[in-house]
Structure 1
């Protein structure tokens, strides 16, 4: 019996179409896996079901009746609970308060019933008592927990809704094997009780261990649904890839992989927060891509190379000399540049003029104590022109620019005094197609001029179209290197989705 049905659901954010056509049928008493590449629209589809995103078009049927999920409270009233990929816990509150937050037990209609709170939370904590750790108890402050324990609390919070429909958006990403096994036992019990579960995961072994059916979303559209028993990991990846398997050919004259004298940066057994035992070399004139699903260690590696924070173990050699990455200041002094896709947090200086935003690295590297706007402007303008940056004047606020032009400012600041290594951490995130084209045209030109570039992108096409080689990350480690004819969408997905 169909419990939930979505037909032709779509959602756009301005010119960005997050979901073109989302279709999903969820049966009573099944675990229905939803799978797709980064940015395919699967999380948007789930947020529409949970009421945190309003669709632009389409129909949602619950038990055969058309419904409007106007918000999270409406979803809760309709019997829909969700585990969000981005944890939504209150760090300064207790485990019990977080678990029961959607529906705190009260007495006298106003005050929280502390005894009932502990009793209710205790039931869900007990489900994981063999794998959660002794320090995870009802009174523990969530901010004091490890990442895996926090994720377990978020799962308990979703379970505590007692909703007939439960959505889990990558719930196992921070869990160990024993915790995953226990969680799957609970899901099987819920399925036996007639609950309906949507499960998003990037691990093929998990998908085939827990799912009854799988629906694939590609480029914002539902492309098919198969029974798990009637398909295979290879067939699922083929559905994700579609007809266009290969998106790009290598650049006409990529640097030789044999010339050791051409190596700009060599990394050996580097380990840090979020990644482990990573080794590679990048050559002058080469664009080395970092691929795989979001959050598999790519950004953490780039930040470690920039000293924010530094790696815990391993060796890095820059131009034949050991690289000291104890801080970003030290990395900059040695010729390392880092561009973040999160320009609001890691890039722009809010409220300040464009000139101040484009010249701080130049001032730091040249130890400028006093700087005059005229000479600084002469230094900044060629870098801004190289990126086709559109601005009224250097004295205007950075906030007067579009997102794409703000990101161009962030990149231009590194081009005034060219670095030896350019680290690009999802640099085109949230900018329009025109700005992306300008950025990648410059990146390729810089590579042709001999700059060594490490590029992480959450968009597979950007890697396949621009990188000479791709290191695919899975579970914090490199699972495969793709070069030449191996640089296909199928190989990229297979390496990203295989069991960690």
Structure 2
């Protein structure tokens, strides 16, 4: 019996189509796997079901009855529970309070029934007692827990909803093998009770261990659904890739830069928060890509190289000399540059004019205590022009610019004084196609001029069309290196999803 059905669902954010045509049909008593590449639309589809995103069009049926999921409360009333990829825990509250936060047991209207709270939450904690650790108790503040324990609490919170339809968006990303095995035992029990489960994972072994059927989403559209028993990891990946298996460099884009300028940066057995035992070299004039699904250690590696925070162990050499970046200041003075796709957190200086946003690195590297605006502007304008930055005047506030032009300001600040290595951490996130074209044209020109560039992008096409080599990450480690003719979409997905 069909429990949940979505037909022709779509969602756009301005000119960006997050979901073009989503179809999904979930049976009662099944674990239904939803799979797709970064940005394919799978999380958007789940958020529509959970009521946190309103679709632009399409229909949603529960038990063959059309419904409108107007918000999270409406979803809960309709019997839908969700585990979000981004954890939503209250750190200063206890484990028990977080598990039952939506429905804290009351004693009268004002007071929480502490006895009922501890008893009910204890039942969910007991489900994972053998794998959670002794320090995970009902009274423990969530802020004291490890990452894996927090994820378990979020899972308990979803289970406590007792919803007939449960959605788990990458629930195992921080769990160890024993914790995953226990979680799967619980899911099989729920399935046997007739519950409907939507499961999103980036691990092919998990998908084939727990799933009954799999639906593939590609480029915002549902491609098809098949039973797990009748398919294989390679077949699933081919559904994800479609006909775009090759490199497929656009006609108007020059090929990736030629290398051979000697080693600029060498990394040996580097480990840190979010990544482990990473080794590679990047040459002058080379664009080295970091691929794989989002959150597999790529951004953590780039931030560690920039000293934010530094790595725990391993060795890094720059131009043959040992490099120790204890913080971003030391990284900048050593010749490293870092551009984040999160310009609001790591880039833009809000409330300040464009000139002050584009020149702070220049001031730091040259130890400027005082400088005339005219001299600063003279140094900044060539970098801004190279990126085709559109602005009325350097004295105007940074907030007067579009998102794409704000990102160009952030990038231009590193080009006034040329660095030795440019670290690009998903730099095109949230900018328009024109700004992306300007950025990659400049990246290729910088590489041709001998700059070493390390590029992480959550968009596979950006890596395939611009990187000379791609290191594919999974679980914080490099799983495969793709170079030359191996740089295909199929090989990229194959390594990212660990399809053996």
TM-score range, shorter chain: over 0.9
Decide whether aligned partners of structure 1 residues 96 and 499 sit closer, same or farther in structure 2, where only a CA change above 3 A counts: farther
Decide whether aligned partners of structure 1 residues 391 and 253 sit closer, same or farther in structure 2, where only a CA change above 3 A counts: closer
Measure the CA separation in 1 of the matches of 2:383 and 2:248: 28
Q: Give how far 1:281 is off.
A: 0.5
Unaligned runs of 5+ in 2: none
Q: Give how far 1:127 is off.
A: 0.2
The residue aligned with 1:324 is 324
The residue aligned with 2:137 is 137
Task: Confirm whether residue 74 of structure 1 aligns to residue 74 of structure 2.
Answer: yes
Measure the CA separation in 1 of the matches of 2:96 and 2:307: 37
The residue aligned with 1:103 is 103
Give the aligned CA root-mean-square deviation in angstroms.
1.0
Unaligned runs of 5+ in 1: none
Measure the CA separation in 2 of the matches of 1:241 and 1:325: 39
Task: Confirm whether residue 492 of structure 1 aligns to residue 492 of structure 2.
Answer: yes
How many residues end up aligned between the 2 structures?
496
Measure the CA separation in 2 of the matches of 1:264 and 1:151: 39
The residue aligned with 1:476 is 476
Measure the CA separation in 2 of the matches of 1:343 and 1:474: 25
Note the 1:131-170 alignment, pairs <5 A.
131-170=131-170
Instruction: Judge conservation of contact 2:257–2:448 (CA < 8 Å) in 1.
Output: no
Given the two structures, how large is their TM-score scaled by the length of structure 1? 0.98
Q: Give how far 1:102 is off.
A: 1.3
**Alpha-carbon displacement from aligned partner over 1:355-380 (angstroms, at most 9, x marks no partner):** 00000000000000011100000000
Measure the CA separation in 1 of the matches of 2:312 and 2:143: 23
The residue aligned with 2:10 is 10
Instruction: Judge conservation of contact 2:348–2:406 (CA < 8 Å) in 1.
Output: yes
- Runs of 4 or more, structure 1, over 2 Å off, are 247-253
Task: Confirm whether residue 58 of structure 1 aligns to residue 58 of structure 2.
Answer: yes
Q: Give how far 1:106 is off.
A: 1.0
Q: Give how far 1:499 is off.
A: 6.3
Task: Confirm whether residue 212 of structure 1 aligns to residue 212 of structure 2.
Answer: yes
SS at match of 1:31: strand
Measure the CA separation in 2 of the matches of 1:111 and 1:332: 54
Instruction: Judge conservation of contact 2:34–2:42 (CA < 8 Å) in 1.
Output: yes
Note the 1:114-133 alignment, pairs <5 A.
114-133=114-133
Measure the CA separation in 2 of the matches of 1:193 and 1:182: 17
Given the two structures, how large is their TM-score scaled by the length of structure 2? 0.98
Measure the CA separation in 1 of the matches of 2:255 and 2:51: 45
**Alpha-carbon displacement from aligned partner over 1:277-298 (angstroms, at most 9, x marks no partner):** 1110000000000000011100
Measure the CA separation in 2 of the matches of 1:290 and 1:387: 23
Q: Give how far 1:350 is off.
A: 0.3
The residue aligned with 1:313 is 313
SS at match of 2:436: helix
Q: Give how far 1:103 is off.
A: 1.1
Note the 1:251-400 alignment, pairs <5 A.
251=255, 254-256=258-260, 262-400=262-400
Instruction: Judge conservation of contact 2:256–2:444 (CA < 8 Å) in 1.
Output: no
Instruction: Judge conservation of contact 2:353–2:397 (CA < 8 Å) in 1.
Output: yes
Measure the CA separation in 2 of the matches of 1:199 and 1:114: 33
The residue aligned with 1:26 is 26
